[in-house]
Structure formats: structure tokens, C-alpha cells
Amino acid sequence: MPCLAGNICFFSFFNLSLQIWAPTEKGPAPSPFGATIQALLQATVCMALYLYLIPHFNISGLNSPAYQEWGFWKRLSYQFMSGFTARWKYYFIWSISEAAVIISGLGFSGWTDTSPSKPKWDRAKNVDILGVEFAKSSVQLPLVWNIQVSTWLRHYVYDRLVQKGKKPGFFQLLATQTTSAVWHGLYPGYIIFFVQSALMIAGSRVLYRWQQAIPSNMDVVKNLLVFISFAYTVLVLNYSAVGFMVLTLQETLALYGSVYYIGTIAPIVLILLGNMIKPAKPSRSKARKEQ
């Protein structure tokens, strides 16, 4: 029976692969090899960069006596680089798994709308590396990091907590991130990290509202807010990542405290300011209203 079941599974997968790779009106059957090689090259670069950086920026360094002797800026810089370094390990894992799914044929997600049409192989895409590293707002991070899980959480947790006729708020965000924390494991570092991420996103929403309220003729101010939002995202993300790395409550709080909880205070201050400073909504043009 196990052999029979195995054969049934194999032929089901084989038939599915034939359907995926079957020629259509868009063109001949798409080849997965180009996209697979691209994913493998990305995985190679990610692992090479991780292996280069990890001897210099790691958990041991965060717990070393030398770290305790450093000043604020050097500690913050080391935390920043430690978080940055740790992400490349996950970039490698997701890239190599994406390559495996693409070569199986299951990564095919359709055709582009361009002429001529080109095959898309992003069904298994789980991270947009440049999207993470150059995110202009923390709100963008769930869209480019652990994409498949984030999509699931959005549909089955976040959206279901929003009451009909009401806008989502911090409660829905916090509940979703807490669910993600439990999913990862019941370590204090995970829970603190995801609570931090909820605060981080809520703070970014405040910056976005302020940015949208800036008149179109004040490009300098608007660009300044864009830069502040980017710097805020980078700062709080890498600060928060320390909890994800060390996991224990004592180490997480000690390392956060070593930089005066700057990544916790910053989003809380923004949230409080957002409740006090509420800019008027940008007026829509007449053409927009007519539409």
C-alpha cells in the first residue's frame, strides 16, 4: 500500500506538472531553468555575504565584555550590523527553497501582460531583498519579508479581526503580530520582537499620515519625511531584531537597555504625537471626486 500510495502521489504530481508546462495561447511551455539559475545565484550571493559578515557581527559579540565598554553609538552600530547580517541567512534559505519550487514547475504563476508575454515564477517567492533593505516605511515590510506567511496572517487573522464598517487599528495589528510570535515559538525574544514590530508599523503609519498631509508644492519637506521614515524603519528594525536573535528575556532587555531602549521609545513617541497632531486629510481634486 505505501508503494501504491507513492505511485498515486507521483502520477498526480506528474499530471499537474504537465498542466503547468502545457503550451497556451500566450506561447510555448515556459522553461523554469532560467528562473531557477537566477534564484540559485541569489542564494549563493546571500550565503557568501552571510559567511563574510557573521564572524564580525554575531550574538557572541553582543554578549562580550568589549560590547559593554563601548559607547552608545558603537553599541547601536553593532546591533544594526548584527541584525543586518542575520537577515542574509534567511535570504539564503528562502532563495534556495524558491529555486527548488521553481524547478519543480510549481513556482509558475502565469504570464506577464507585456508583449510578448513572459512567464512569471513568483508563486514561491518569499522575500524581496531590496524591498526589505530599502523599505521607505515599516508598513512595507510584511509585503516583502516572509511573504507567504504574511499573506496568510493578513487574510486569516488581521482582516478577520476588523469589524464591519470600521477601520483596522493597533489592536488588529498587535493581535496579528502576537499570533506570528506564537507561531515562531514561545520564546520571550520572539514575543518582544513581534510586539516591537507592531509598535514599529504603528509609528510608520503616523509618519505616512504626516507625509500625505504635506502640500504638493513642499517637495523638500515631503522628501525629508520620506528620509526620516526610512531611517526610522532601519533603526527600529535592526534594534528589534536583537530580541529575535538572542531569544531570552534577560538578554533581550539588557541589550535593548544598552542603547537606552531607543527602538522602543521612538515608535511610542510617534504614536503619542500622532494622537495629538492629526493633520487634515489631503483634499481630493474635483476630477477625483467625479470619478
- Residues known to be catalytic: 184
Q: Which residues contact 257 (CB under 8 A, 6 or more apart)?
A: none
- In degrees, to the nearest 5, what angle opens at C-alpha 138 toward C-alphas 153 and 134? 115
Instruction: For residues 149 and 120, give the distance between their C-alpha atoms in angstroms, rounded to a whole number.
Output: 20
- Return all residues near 270 (Cβ < 8 A) that are at least 6 apart: 202, 203, 206, 207, 232
∠ Cα 205 209 215 (to 5°):
155
Q: Is the dihedral of CA 221, 224, 229, 235 positive or negative?
A: negative
State the CB neighbour count (10 A cutoff) for residue 189.
23
Of 133, 132, 134, give the one whose Cα is nearest residue 143: 132
- What cell does 10 get? 507521483
Determine the Cα–Cα distance for residues 97 and 124; give it in Å rounded to an integer: 8
- Give every CB contact of residue 284 below 8 A, 6+ residues apart in sequence: none
**Cell 499537474 maps to which residue?**
16
